[in-house]
Structure 1
Amino acid sequence: MEVVLSILQVFVSVVLIALILMHSGKDAGLSGAFGVGTGQGPLGGGSYVERNLNRWTVFFCIVFVVNTIVLIKI
């Protein structure tokens, strides 16, 4: 069980890092490559994509925290 949770933790960590890097900040960063913060793009504007990006980031943050607590308790 601990091995499975540890592998899940590594996977969630990598996904979380990628999601955080895709957020737009002061400069475009990685989000500029995908048109997340520009309002242009094939997905109908940046606000919809950015809202989904925020939801996925929060979801993976919650999974990361819960998995960390479970791994500490084991």
Structure 2
Amino acid sequence: MSVLNIILTVLLFISGLLCIALVLMHSGKGTGVSDMIASSMYNANSGSGVWEKNLDRLTIISATIFGVCVLVMAITFPTGTIGL
């Protein structure tokens, strides 16, 4: 496995975990997991609109990094070398 594939694999795992965490931090419509996790972060006086906008941007960036890593790995990953 080349150095590029190792870097992409690490970046894939980090961006995947970051995507999961950021999606769970979004405010939901009901009393779901996001409300339990982020209830202390959202306050009417703290400007949650700006917080949501930045959270949206971070989620899009991490999802884009995840997608690009998957595409590049699909092209460059050597076939038949897993487990060797």
Larger radius of gyration: 2
Match of 2:65 in 1: 63
TM-score normalised by length of structure 2: 0.74
Pairwise CA RMSD? 1.2
Report the count of equivalent residues: 69
Q: Which runs of 5+ in 2 are unaligned?
A: 77-84
Deviation at 1:51, TM superposition (A): 0.6
**What displacement does 1:32 show?**
1.3
Q: 1:23–1:30: 8 Å Cα contact kept in structure 2?
A: no
Higher relative contact order (CA closer than 8 Å, sequence separation 6+): 2
1:9 matched residue in structure 2: 12
Identity over aligned residues, as a percent? 28
Aligned position for 2:39: 32
TM-score (norm 1): 0.83
Is the 8 Å Cα contact of residues 22 and 29 (structure 1) preserved in structure 2?
Answer: no
